[in-house]
Amino acid sequence: MTLALADRLRHVEGSPTLALAAKAKALAKAGKPVLDFTAGEPDFPTPAHVKQAGIQAIEANHTRYTPVAGILELRKAIANNLAHRLGLKYADAEVMVSCGAKQALYNALQVLCDPEDEVIILTPYWVSYDPLVRLASATPVFVETKEADGFQPDPAAVKRAITSKTKAIILNSPSNPTGAVIEESRLKELAAVVKGARSDDSLLIISDEIYDQIVFPPARVRSIVQVDPTLIDRTILVNGVSKSYSMTGWRIGYAAGPKNVIDAMINLQSHSTSNPASISQYAALQALTGDQQDVQRMVAEFQRRRDRLVNGLNQLKPLRCTMPGGAFYAWCNVSGLGQSADATAAQWLEDALVATVPGEGFGAPGYIRLSFATSLEQIEEALTRLGQWMRTRKPAGAVRSVERG
Ligand code: PMP
Ligand code: GLU
């Protein structure tokens, strides 16, 4: 028997990135020599001093409820971190801690959106933006970014997409999945578009900066609120420790923004998850305030892997891959193969045991995402296998599509 679900869940499927990562792990567990390029998470252990802080939190019995918005020390540390890195001044009360950046985004969209509202999302987009907007009963409006333009947002196209119903625009720089780092000049133009759209300040920005420390020179990340600090009153900045500190499983993200929005997000969180795990909060506090050398070490390693993977893929004609300026994804144009990305990803998995995520879930058919949060040896082996696959591949046609379950 299938029971009826709420309308707003009708078009919401599970995260394809998480589903494909689980599938790759299951294959590996079953003894298949699968090479996993699905995972959107660093493969490094959490830095030792951060792990130690978690252990100490347990020993010190920091194992009870904390304030819903997180322990004050952590909120202060986040505010200090933003002041230090971005030069932006947030009060402690303008910061809240959540169960990963994902929950911060969820909270923000839930408290901001009404059913008639629209939210602008730039494609290709991270797989959860579309469902997160729909779960808030709002409507996603997609604005394309183009490969030929380095996947930079087109401020004129954003302007055209704004209607009287537009509540917010989601920005993500560096981007998952393209790795594009939004240039300062584009941010300035976007800021002007947002400010010029209405006579009041009712058009908001949700700036997902979760990859902002994983950036490869000469690319340079700027936040839209750095570029135009007057936007601080209408921007919800989202970040966390998951990616920069290799802490995906600890589940600590945060939001910083106007106090009334943050208060509403805290109220919402008080009725859903309450505080994020107390132990994780102490570990995150250490991550943000302790030694930062591990971050630099991990970024340098990501850069080596990026160079090898992207250059290697570009040698496998007709595959084509722009050099990502940040994050840890190679975004590969596979349209030259003459079949869907879904079909290609399914064949790579089946024929070459190389697990990737096809672009359909990112609103960008024709592309495949390969996470380079994996070892150089695995990258070499995958390039060898994909090279062999290209030489021996069956012609386009009758192929199965990737199961998303
Ligand atoms: N935003 C983007 C762009 C991401 O790739 C991720 C990765 N899951 C998140 C937010 C969520 O991060 P977290 O694991 O902290 O919830
Ligand atoms: N953000 C990561 C990814 O895109 C983790 C998986 C997820 O949360 O969707 O793969």
CATH value at residue 135: 3.40.640.10
Question: Is residue 133, in this structure, part of any structural domain at all?
Answer: yes
pTM value > 0.85: yes
The two structure tokens encoding residue 3: 């029971």
Same domain, 215 and 241: yes
Cβ–ligand 1 distance for 239 under 6 Å, the answer no
Q: Decide: 231 and 224 in contact? Cβ < 8 Å.
A: yes
The pLDDT value given to residue 401: 44
Question: Is residue 69, in this structure, part of any structural domain at all?
Answer: yes
Same domain, 245 and 123: yes
Average pLDDT estimate for 115-123: 97
Which of 289, 320, 342 is at the close of a domain?
289
The pLDDT value given to residue 19: 83
Q: Which atom of ligand 2 is nearest to the CA of 176?
A: 4
**Which residues are CB-neighbours of 53 under 8 A, at least 6 positions away?**
282, 283, 285, 286, 287, 290
Strands 235-240 and 118-123: unpaired
Distance of CA 331 to the CA centre of its chain: 14
The pLDDT value given to residue 290: 98
Is the pLDDT assigned to residue 402 strictly greater than 90? Answer: no
The pLDDT value given to residue 47: 98
Closest CA to 208 of 247, 230, 239, 162: 239
Amino acid at 345: A
The pLDDT value given to residue 282: 98
Same domain, 280 and 354: no
Same domain, 268 and 300: no
Which of 242, 268, 289 is at the close of a domain?
289
CA of 70: how far to CAs of 62, 96, 248, in Å? 12, 7, 18
Q: Number of structural domains, the chain?
A: 2
Same domain, 99 and 222: yes
The two structure tokens encoding residue 300: 């340098």
DSSP 151: T
| Atom 5, ligand 1: residue with shortest CA distance | 176
The pLDDT value given to residue 404: 40
The pLDDT value given to residue 39: 84
Question: Is residue 93, in this structure, part of any structural domain at all?
Answer: yes
Question: Is residue 363, in this structure, part of any structural domain at all?
Answer: yes
Ligand 2: list residues with CB < 6 Å. 15, 17-18, 40-41, 126-128, 176
DSSP 215: B
For residue 197, the enclosing domain spans: 48-289
| Cα 290 from Cα 310, distance rounded (Å) | 33
Residue 275 has, within 13 A of its CA and on its CB side, a CA count of 19
Same domain, 283 and 146: yes
Closest CA to 168 of 126, 128, 206, 123: 206
Question: Is residue 224, in this structure, part of any structural domain at all?
Answer: yes
Same domain, 70 and 204: yes
Which of 269, 289, 309 is at the close of a domain?
289
Q: At what angle do helices 376-392 and 293-315 cross, to 10 degrees?
A: 10
| Cα 344 from Cα 393, distance rounded (Å) | 10
| Cα 217 from Cα 27, distance rounded (Å) | 36
The chain-wide mean pLDDT, for the chain, equals 95
Is the pLDDT assigned to residue 405 strictly greater than 60? Answer: no
Average pLDDT estimate for 31-48: 94
The pLDDT value given to residue 397: 53
Cβ–ligand 1 distance for 369 under 6 Å, the answer no
**In 3-state terms, what secondary structure has residue 273?**
coil
Question: Is residue 360, in this structure, part of any structural domain at all?
Answer: yes
Closest CA to 108 of 116, 241, 81, 100: 100
The two structure tokens encoding residue 293: 């050398």
Is the pLDDT assigned to residue 167 strictly greater than 70? Answer: yes
The pLDDT value given to residue 396: 61
**Which residues are CB-neighbours of 26 under 8 A, at least 6 positions away?**
none
Number of H helices, E strands in the chain: 13, 13
Question: Is residue 398, in this structure, part of any structural domain at all?
Answer: no
By the 10 Å C-beta count (0-12 exposed, 13-18 middle, 19+ buried), 11 is classed as exposed
We report the CATH number of the domain holding residue 317 as 3.90.1150.10
Same domain, 147 and 206: yes
Average pLDDT estimate for 317-335: 97
For the chain, the helix, strand and coil percentages under 3-state DSSP, each to the nearest 5? 45, 15, 40
Same domain, 350 and 233: no
| Cα 368 from Cα 370, distance rounded (Å) | 7
Same domain, 334 and 190: no
33: part of which helix (H) or strand (E)? none
Average pLDDT estimate for 258-287: 98
In a mutational test of the pocket of ligand 2, which residue from 128, 248, 356 has the highest number of ligand atoms less than 8 Å from its CB? Answer: 128
Average pLDDT estimate for 200-211: 97
Question: Is residue 166, in this structure, part of any structural domain at all?
Answer: yes
The two structure tokens encoding residue 334: 């596979």
- Report the percent of the chain where pLDDT is more than 90: 89
Same domain, 173 and 65: yes
Distance 39 CA to ligand 2 centre (A): 7
**In 3-state terms, what secondary structure has residue 369?**
strand
Is the pLDDT assigned to residue 398 strictly greater than 50? Answer: no
Is the pLDDT assigned to residue 232 strictly greater than 60? Answer: yes
**Which residues are CB-neighbours of 132 under 8 A, at least 6 positions away?**
102, 105, 106, 109
111: part of which helix (H) or strand (E)? helix 100-112
| Atom 8, ligand 2: residue with shortest CA distance | 18
The torsion region of residue 376 among left (phi > 0), alpha (psi -120 to 50) and beta comes to alpha
Same domain, 143 and 202: yes
At 105, is the pLDDT very low, low, confident or very high (cuts 50, 70, 90)? very high
